[in-house]
Structure 1
């Protein structure tokens, strides 16, 4: 593969130059452009679903922190096929404005606001089957800080998922390895029958990111507040 070099403009930070070079030479970035995906992250969801087969036609899916929309595109391609007259739905929520996309409902909405769960369920016509989160806070360059911030986002996404998922539902979220992800897995096991972690090939090899997938939501009964 031809390696593109980026000239450093006066005043440009070296980190910005390296990021741009990596983007120009990343095969996933190039393939995302070719296939019309809004981000390279679309391939992470494609690979995760290829391995675990959790996106089903007819499912009701919500994507938290959905911008720019790559995961919504992938989810819509699968779940909107529909079977036996049941047509799936895909809803994306983000505090950033997003360009509209076919067959996907987008809300300019902070999912941590009190009204968000009811807004979502009204739009879905019921509870969600799948809650996705590929959110990451802006990187600070300080490993421990970045880990804590992304784990905080994951915890908030989990709380939201517990509010909106139907029994048997699934939660998938990005985390960073760094010491506290074990606590997150323990928390998930209180509410889901099966919890595992996985790193898709599209995740960069030098990144500490991985994904946790929680399958078989137990419901919002009081018994789930205690360890099994």
Structure 2
């Protein structure tokens, strides 16, 4: 491993020597992690991932999370958003409930219920609502599909994930509830955005500063869920 100096004697940028078993993309990812101030800050502050700062920044702007809410976090691993949500709703004081779900296991977050499994499973909405003790006030999703490097393919994958998350949110959100989901720039155009505007009173995009500058990710925030149409309404 080597480093570049900024001229004042400080080592500013860490460079890794190329390893034979490491791909170019892995090399770039490792260098980016080592030089990311949010990664170091997360370790100091006790957050499990740099993504915690994205939710903190969004919540500071829109006041999404409130004491006593029922929260669902889709794709919750490694648990950074669970930590933030727990703090913001007062979980340590016995206020609210949080359920996280992910295909990957995570270390327990105090007070948080966790399901290791697929949120698209047929019984997942009912399991989540049972653990919450009712419908959710907020559904969070920071899920991201594994990147292929092919822009159009990655775009389609993230749109598909967002569609699945939206469908899930419709099944578990209480009327008036909110939905926050990671997408890519251009990822909520067309029918997807139209559906959100139909089902929620307010829809907007947010790109927190904690998102990497070279990343095309942003978040769609849909607030004020109108609820599922009544049976036989023809909607």
Q: Distance in 2 between matches of 1:96 and 1:81?
A: 23
1:95 matched to 2:124: no
Q: Secondary structure at the match of 1:202?
A: coil
Instruction: Give the drift of 1:80.
Output: 2.3
| Structure 2 residues without counterparts, runs of 5 or longer | 1-10
Tell me which moved more, 96-105 or 149-158.
96-105
Q: Distance in 2 between matches of 1:109 and 1:190?
A: 30
Q: Distance in 2 between matches of 1:147 and 1:139?
A: 9
- When normalised by structure 2's length, the TM-score is 0.90
Instruction: Give the drift of 1:183.
Output: 2.7
- When normalised by structure 1's length, the TM-score is 0.93
Instruction: Give the drift of 1:222.
Output: 4.2
Check conservation: 1:89, 1:124, Cα contact below 8 A.
Answer: yes
Instruction: Give the drift of 1:2.
Output: 2.3
Q: Distance in 1 between matches of 2:54 and 2:63?
A: 13
Tell me which moved more, 173-182 or 41-50.
173-182
Aligned position for 1:115: 123
Aligned position for 1:27: 37
CA 103–225 in structure 1, closer or farther in 2 if over 3 Å, else same: farther
Aligned position for 1:188: 196
Tell me which moved more, 206-215 or 2-11.
2-11
Check conservation: 1:63, 1:71, Cα contact below 8 A.
Answer: yes
Q: Secondary structure at the match of 1:2?
A: strand
Q: Secondary structure at the match of 1:9?
A: coil
Structural RMSD (CA): 1.8
Question: Rg bigger for which structure?
Answer: 2
Aligned position for 1:105: 113
Q: Distance in 2 between matches of 1:50 and 1:179?
A: 24
Alignment equivalent of 1:62, drawn from 72, 78, 90: 72
CA 66–179 in structure 1, closer or farther in 2 if over 3 Å, else same: closer
Instruction: Give the drift of 1:87.
Output: 1.5
Aligned position for 2:85: 75
CA 225–13 in structure 1, closer or farther in 2 if over 3 Å, else same: farther
Displacement over 2 Å in runs of 4+: 80-83, 178-183, 222-226
Q: Secondary structure at the match of 1:3?
A: strand
